[in-house]
């Protein structure tokens, strides 16, 4: 860990600890509801407790960690209501982004969007579900980035930071399977989003994205309840 000196070194160390813990949370090595004891983490990472304490505050601000009075910090655990809220936020904000993207997306971005969509259609589910989900993340990310609206891009990046990896860690019963009856509708809805953007139709693009995300959210909630 080659850091500078003084205040600069302290800030770099805090950032390094936060990055390390964030990665462990998002990749499932630190599980939902797991307590994050400062002393243990400091020993494991070979640092003092101060940068660990500050890193946990940063992760709490990002929504990955929660503090309980007199008990400490632990990894956030999602509830069914959290899933509903997450998808409702995504539907609204990504819909806004798609409306603007319909007016600003480039031909190169449309070509890449179609390439990603075709790659998704070739994925075998559930055997290649991990690849499918990564392509899905890239598909939605490209739509948002094409809006050129920096605040929406940053806001959605934070929402997606816990989705889907951290979400699946909270609900292992649906982590290895797609939601029932969602494979074919997913394909049709992604095609409609792409067509709306190609038509440069803001109303159609916003409607297509909101409908797609809201429907996917309902299907996931139903699947979790069924498990």
**CATH number of domain containing 64:** 1.10.10.10
Q: Are residues 67 and 101 in the same domain?
A: no
Which pLDDT belongs to residue 197?
98
200 in the same domain as 156 = yes
pLDDT above 90 as % of the chain: 60
Domain identity same for 186 and 141: yes
Domain count for the chain: 2
CA distance 109 to 143: 9
Last residue of a domain, one of 75, 94, 110: 75
Asked if 93 and 145 sit in the same domain, the reply is yes
Per-residue tokens: 202: 């803001």
**Burial of 120 by CB count in 10 Å (0-12 exposed, 13-18 middle, 19+ buried)?**
buried
pLDDT for residue 225: 87
> Treating both helix axes as pointing N-terminal to C-terminal, what angle do 183-198 and 80-104 enclose, rounded to 10 degrees?
30
Six token digits for residue 194: 């792409």
On whether the pTM is more than 0.85, the answer is no
pLDDT tens sequence across 43-97: 999 999 999 999 999 999 888 899 999 899 999 888 889 889 999 999 999 999 9
CA gap 138, 142 in Å, rounded: 6
End position of a domain, from candidates 40, 55, 75: 75
132 within a domain of the structure (yes/no): yes
Q: Do 71 and 91 belong to one domain? A: no
Task: Say whether both 13 and 110 belong to one domain.
Answer: no
| DSSP for residue 97 | H
The length of the chain, given as a count of residues: 227
Tell me which DSSP letter residue 178 carries. Answer: P
Q: Is the dihedral of CA 169, 173, 177, 178 positive or negative?
A: negative
Domain membership flag for residue 1: no
Q: Range of 49's domain?
A: 6-75
């Amino acid at each position: 860990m080659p850091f500078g000196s003084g205040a600069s070194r302290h800030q770099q160390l805090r950032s390094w600890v936060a990055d390390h813990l964030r990665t462990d949370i998002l990749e499932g090595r630190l599980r939902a509801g797991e307590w994050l004891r400062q002393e243990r983490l400091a020993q494991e990472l070979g640092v003092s407790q101060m940068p660990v304490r500050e890193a946990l505050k940063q992760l709490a601000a990002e929504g990955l960690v929660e503090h309980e009075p007199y008990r400490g910090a632990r990894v956030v655990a999602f509830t069914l209501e959290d899933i509903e809220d997450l998808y409702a936020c995504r539907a609204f904000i990504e819909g806004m982004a798609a409306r603007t993207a319909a007016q600003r997306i480039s031909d190169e971005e449309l070509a890449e969007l179609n390439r990603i969509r075709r790659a998704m259609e070739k994925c075998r589910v559930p055997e290649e579900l991990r690849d499918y989900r990564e392509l899905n993340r890239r598909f939605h990310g490209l739509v948002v980035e094409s809006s050129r609206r920096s605040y929406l891009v940053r806001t959605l990046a934070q929402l997606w930071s816990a989705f889907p990896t951290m979400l699946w860690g909270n609900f292992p019963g649906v982590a290895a399977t797609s939601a029932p009856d969602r494979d074919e509708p997913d394909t049709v809805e992604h095609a409609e989003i792409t067509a709306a953007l190609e038509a440069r139709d803001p109303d159609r693009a916003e409607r297509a994205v909101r409908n797609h995300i809201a429907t996917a959210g309902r299907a996931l909630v139903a699947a979790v309840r069924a498990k």
